[in-house]
Structure 1
Amino acid sequence: MSVITQTPVSKLTISYPPLPEDFILPDDPVENTDQPLLAAALRQPLTAFPDLMQDALVVSNFALCAAIEGRIICKAPDFLYVRPVQPLTSSQIRRSYTPHTEGVIPQIVMEFLSATYGEEYSVEFTAGVGKWFFYEQVIQVPRYIIFRPDTGRLEVYAIESGRYQVQTEESGRYWIPGLELFLGVWEGSHESRTGYWLRWWNAQGELLLWSEERAEQERQRAEQERQRAERLVEQLRQLGVAPED
């Protein structure tokens, strides 16, 4: 039986070169239709907060790159948030992100796992580089989130002493530094999908609403104001006061 030895991380040469323009990025399709919906549901409420979106890169299935021993490695997390990033000129198109070269280390990466999953938990460094190893040892992303939409299981890992350690929840939610928000699981319907979702809560425990929820909230507020105005008019009439048109 052959034994595969893993090169110690401390002896690896890790660098962050700009991605060459002729570098061919993998064009793998997303695993299922849930993944884009889950990522969009995380991004959409953040757009209502300029402080969270200004100079930020909030993307899904997008290449996160670095070089190991001079070989460029790219992984495409299902959700990535990084702020700040260097702005592009009007003629540039961002097709990947390399930390330290284009901005800071991402504050958070996420993977949405199906019932059968591949390399998300891999720590190998032989012919390939697993996502766990890449996020933890190469990029050193502070928070790595693993979510199973079919069961609602959420795992949050934070780097402590150079390794990912599982985090404990606070009333069912996890505090995410850098966004200064809580992340948790919500069950319900959105975008014609019913099931488990990841959602944000602010430091006061208030849920960050989707645009349709904000619109419904505004509709209800307007309806309450209309009813209040009608009651006031009726009260004035009962007192013999003719309200002005």
Structure 2
Amino acid sequence: MILQIPSTKTEPTITWESLPTDFVLPDDPVENIQQPTLAAALTDALGAASLIQSEMLIGSNFGLVATINNKAVVKAPDWFYVSKVYPVTKGTVRRSYTQNLEGEPVSIVMEFLSESECGEFSVRSTPPYGKLYFYQYILQVPTYVIYDPYEPSLEVRCLENGKYNIQELNSQGQVWIPELELFLGIWSGERLGQSMNWLRWWDRSGNLLLWSAEQSEQEHLRAEQERLRAEQERLRADKLAAKLRELGIDPDALT
């Protein structure tokens, strides 16, 4: 006879409920000084490429909510994306987001590592829940990105059969993000006077999605080139008209 020892681990009961109006959302300080600029740059590029629609929700350090065993749990990723949410009542400010109740499930979450370990890889399955556990088993987010700007290094986990699998980088060091149909990779350079290792988007053809400032600069250069071409055409026309007059020909009579 074989003694069977029952497992003491029980599956959590997960529900999607509104936060109480008096619920105090976490207001922890940003652990990575680069986090706000990294998040803003990711969103800026999507906006400059006209890829953000009104029904989407893109946020940074914003509470994602699940009720686990009748207790509200909130995690605030450094960046996240939801493809479609329900509009809030006019005059109401969205304080947090509860998937399935307020709209579609969260599609992408990103965490940017700080110089000290802060639970981005944690699979702790009891309160306080680890971030990896929460995104994988509770929210079941299809794509979880962990980025270390100090190395720099990029890990993208995709949910397959209920578990995260790390995706391989392509030859350019990029990973395909199916929810946005874009590649994500690391780019070293400057934005708004700040030089660092940025996370950036590339389209299917390998074209870098420009930030709005880069797009404005590109448009400025294009306009300047057009102005120079027009000026060169004017100078050539003036030179030709002067030559015709030397030959006794009125250039105005030729038009």
TM-score between the two structures when normalised by the length of structure 1: 0.91
Work out the number of aligned pairs and report it: 237
Query: Looking at CA atoms only, which structure, 1 or 2, has the larger radius of gyration?
Result: 2
Where structure 2 has 5 or more consecutive residues not aligned to the other structure, the ranges are 1-6, 245-250
The 2-side partners of 1:39 and 1:69 are apart by 32
TM-score between the two structures when normalised by the length of structure 2: 0.87
Is residue 2:235 matched to residue 1:227?
A: no
2:48–2:210 contact (8 Å) kept in structure 1: no
Aligned to 1:185: 186
1:41 is paired with a residue of what secondary structure? Answer: helix
Structure 2 CA distance for partners of 1:109 and 1:204, relative to 1, 3 Å: same
- C-alpha displacement at 1:86, in angstroms? 0.7
Which structure 1 residue ranges, 4+ long, deviate > 4 Å from structure 2? none
Is residue 2:157 matched to residue 1:157?
A: yes
Greater displacement, 139-148 / 48-57: 48-57
- C-alpha displacement at 1:50, in angstroms? 4.4
The 1-side partners of 2:60 and 2:165 are apart by 24
* AA of the residue aligned to 2:222: R
- C-alpha displacement at 1:237, in angstroms? 2.8
1:110–1:147 contact (8 Å) kept in structure 2: yes
2:48–2:215 contact (8 Å) kept in structure 1: no
CA distances 1:165-221 after superposition (whole Å, capped 9, x unpaired): 000123321111221111111101113321100011122221111121111101100
Aligned to 1:35: 35
The 1-side partners of 2:118 and 2:51 are apart by 35
Where structure 1 has 5 or more consecutive residues not aligned to the other structure, the ranges are none
2:49–2:210 contact (8 Å) kept in structure 1: no
Aligned to 1:112: 112
* AA of the residue aligned to 2:190: S
Aligned to 1:75: 75
The 1-side partners of 2:154 and 2:9 are apart by 31
The 1-side partners of 2:130 and 2:167 are apart by 21
- C-alpha displacement at 1:83, in angstroms? 1.4
2:79–2:109 contact (8 Å) kept in structure 1: yes
Alpha-carbon RMSD: 1.8
Aligned to 2:9: 7
1:66–1:72 contact (8 Å) kept in structure 2: yes
* AA of the residue aligned to 1:117: E
Structure 2 CA distance for partners of 1:108 and 1:6, relative to 1, 3 Å: farther
Aligned to 2:195: 194
Greater displacement, 177-186 / 133-142: 177-186
CA distances 1:33-92 after superposition (whole Å, capped 9, x unpaired): 211111111111222344423211111100001011111110000001111011112221
- C-alpha displacement at 1:19, in angstroms? 1.4
Structure 2 CA distance for partners of 1:32 and 1:64, relative to 1, 3 Å: same
1:38-53 → structure 2 map (5 Å cutoff):
38-53=38-53
* AA of the residue aligned to 2:165: Q
Aligned to 2:101: 101
1:142–1:159 contact (8 Å) kept in structure 2: yes
Is residue 2:211 matched to residue 1:210?
A: yes
Aligned to 1:123: 123
